[in-house]
Amino acid sequence: MRGWPEAGSRVGKLLARLDIHRPEDLIVHLPLRYEDETRLTPIADLLPGVAAQVEAEVVTCEVVAHARRQLLARLRDDAAHILLVRWLNFYPSLQKQLAPGRRVRVFGEARGGFLGTEMVHPRLQMVEEGAPLPQALTPVYPTTAGLGQASLRHLVEIALASVALDDPLPAAICRRLGFPAFDEAIRYLHHPPPDADAQALADKAHPAWQRVKFEELLVQQLSLRRAYNARRAQAAVSLPPRHTLLRALLDHLPFDLTAAQRRVTNEIAADLAAPHPMQRLLQGDVGSGKTIVAACAMLQAAENGCQAALMAPTEILAEQHYRKLSAWFAPLGIDIAWLSGSRKKRAREAELARLQSGECLLAVGTLALIEDPVSLPRLALAVIDEQHRFGVRQRFALREKNAAGQRPHMLMMSATPIPRTLAMTHYADLDISVLDELPPGRTPIHTRLVSAARREEIIARLHAACLDGCQAYWVCPLIEESETLQLKTAVETWETLCAALPELRIGLIHSRLKADEKAATMAAFAGGELHVLVATTVIEVGVDVPRASLMVIEHAERFGLAQLHQLRGRVGRGAAQSACVLIYEPPLSAMARARLKVIYEQTDGFAIAREDLRIRGPGEFVGARQSGLPLLRYADLELDADMIDQARESAEELLATAPEAVEELMARWLGGREGLLRA
């Protein structure tokens, strides 16, 4: 296309940084805001802090030296009022342009100065008297360093002139939802008229914005539903429930399943029996009992003579799963392989041989499960705990361990509850099961916010609780001292507590300890040999010690909401009254204050997740950079919740009745990059 930069050119590379690779991408690269250059404001009417455009004649222009060299021009409008214009950074050519008698237009914010009304670094345009004004608001686009607004606007004009703005969306859907045609909406947003509703444009509430946001949501729904349908068209090993092992397991358990666990177990069992691969997300709040649900699914695979593997992100969590499953499955005569990077070579090779021969049907491990030597020839079920901690390639690698080339069923688990709007958009290609009931016996956790100045009081409370027979965690965010962050470290805290409380047995655990040292410390704490466990966030997930009833979190303002909720969930697992003390270092930033307010007021994981989504946005919430999820640029999951339902319904309608329209919409927004979706 004439005027379009080549891919390897300087401008082409800058556009690529904005994920713009073709003119069609610029069509939906929409302005952040607008500036009104369609009117002129007399100098006498300028208001401080309000952007405005002035046309005037240059009276003088000179370089002056105050604290630093600067270019100072005096402009006079037709009413003989004077405006000072100041540039702190300038090229000599700018002074030549601003020769006395030249007519200019400057756009910027006015302010009161020592010598009168002035503008600093305004946008400058040389004009002739009577030059016409623009007929539309001036768009300001998202850009990157090195690519100016003028260049970007020029490229947008090339794209608008050359790309066909056809509307594949059926007119019936547009009429039903009250949206304008795509061509009309796009041209309006790139060139709003002078009388446009500025507030509606800023709030993205204008009908043109509504059409764009709906189409963006629609394309996301189409992408995810197509991925869902494509998976259901693939073949997988059918694993019908045999019930023999499952009944035996339930008979041996020291507890009964909750109604939610029974419901979810049945949902998963039905999926496993189907001839296409399950792709299910199991979400439940901290302590809701996801592990026993996963155990039931793994047994269903074993009952059918197939293999199942559970992968966890940390060795502590993986080992806890291994010990728990081993205890549950031992009475059934079922052995489990345990794989981690820290296992001795001989033990590791023995486990690999058992898995490769098919002698062992169940495996639990860390990322060691997806390393090359591991072969699971009869793998029919892959369970991934804390799935958001794994990247696309890692999840894909476990799935590929099936030597027969068949795609295994996948069960992904998360203790971070997902708000409904997020589940409907970013997870629309998955079936979702929710454990919305906690097992009986969980005690409420009281949360306290305490300034770091009161640390001695907290140590005294910890001392009293431990003497009463309780156990406690003390969590710190760093291992070693950091001069820049000045955070209390695990090592320093452990030394302080040991000195202050010599009659208590205090352990220390962090990620740099050897695996056997970590295991020994955790075993001592779980067995009641330690009163206090000082730790980094390695104990964030999976650690289950019923006697632990006090959680102290150092520098709580540095943690995210999901982390705080996970850490708090390590206590309250027994009959004793439990508490979580959040130590913060004032002064607090606005975001830190917001997070601590939420965690103090809320114990419901779903309510916390909704607030976390509001504070952080969907991209950070789901870890989009490693998950492969396409982010929404314009739609807002909170403000546009109703539109999500409309987009989902329309996606189903289009997939069933208008496949050509689906292809056109996908090409416009994704340009063949549908592979952004999760593996």
- Classify strands 116-120 and 103-113 as parallel, antiparallel or unpaired: antiparallel
Supply the pLDDT for residue 106.
97
Find the mean pLDDT for residues 507-511: 86
Chain centroid to CA 499 = 41
pLDDT tens digits, 448-459:
999 999 999 999
> Please, what is the end-to-end C-alpha distance for the chain in angstroms?
34
Is 70 exceeded by the pLDDT of residue 678?
no
* Count of CA atoms in the C-beta half-sphere (13 A) of 247: 4
Q: What is the DSSP letter of 48?
A: B
In this predicted structure, which of 145-159, 283-297, 624-638 has the lowest mean pLDDT? 624-638
* Cβ contact 68:86 at 8 Å: no
Fold of the domain built from segment(s) 39-133:
OB fold (Dihydrolipoamide Acetyltransferase, E2P) (2.40.50)
Higher pLDDT, 321 or 627: 321
**pTM of the predicted structure, to 2 decimals:** 0.77
Is 60 exceeded by the pLDDT of residue 627?
no
Residues of the chain with CATH 3.40.50.300: 244-435, 445-602
Supply the pLDDT for residue 396.
72
Supply the pLDDT for residue 232.
86
Find the mean pLDDT for residues 103-112: 95
CA distance 506 to 466: 11
pLDDT tens digits, 381-418:
999 987 666 666 677 777 777 756 678 999 999 887 77
Helices (H), 198-330: 198-202, 207-232, 244-252, 259-273, 290-303, 315-329
Phi, psi at residue 195, to the nearest 5°?
Answer: -90, 15
Is 90 exceeded by the pLDDT of residue 57?
yes
Higher pLDDT, 45 or 419: 45
Supply the pLDDT for residue 394.
75
Higher pLDDT, 8 or 337: 337
Query: Between the CA of residue 489 and those of 411, 530, 537, 553, what are the distances in Å?
Result: 37, 20, 12, 12
Higher pLDDT, 415 or 31: 31
Residues of the chain with CATH 2.40.50.140: 39-133
Phi, psi at residue 413, to the nearest 5°?
Answer: -115, 145
Supply the pLDDT for residue 259.
95
Of 435, 391, 379, the residue nearest 629 (C-alpha): 391
Supply the pLDDT for residue 483.
46
pLDDT tens digits, 521-551:
888 998 899 999 998 876 655 567 888 999 9
Q: What is the 3-state secondary structure (H, E, C) of 586-634?
A: CCCCHHHHHHHHHHHHCCCHHHHHHHHHHHHCHHHHCCHHHHCCCCCCC
- Classify strands 362-365 and 336-339 as parallel, antiparallel or unpaired: parallel
Q: How many CB atoms lie within 10 A of CB 643?
A: 19
Higher pLDDT, 89 or 673: 89
Confidence band for 488, pLDDT divided at 50, 70 and 90: low
Higher pLDDT, 622 or 12: 12
Higher pLDDT, 572 or 104: 104
* Cβ contact 97:105 at 8 Å: no
Higher pLDDT, 519 or 69: 69
Q: What is the DSSP letter of 254?
A: S
Domain 244-435 of CATH type 3.40.50.300: yes
Find the mean pLDDT for residues 114-136: 93
Supply the pLDDT for residue 1.
63
CA distance 555 to 581: 11
Average pLDDT, whole number, for the chain? 88
* Cβ contact 280:268 at 8 Å: yes
Is 50 exceeded by the pLDDT of residue 660?
yes
Confidence band for 481, pLDDT divided at 50, 70 and 90: low
Q: What is the DSSP letter of 179?
A: P
Is 70 exceeded by the pLDDT of residue 620?
no
Is 80 exceeded by the pLDDT of residue 676?
no
Supply the pLDDT for residue 388.
64
Supply the pLDDT for residue 39.
94
Question: Which CATH number does 445-602 carry?
Answer: 3.40.50.300
Percent of the chain with pLDDT over 90: 58
Find the mean pLDDT for residues 100-113: 95
Residue for token pair 């870890």:
623
Chain centroid to CA 174 = 31
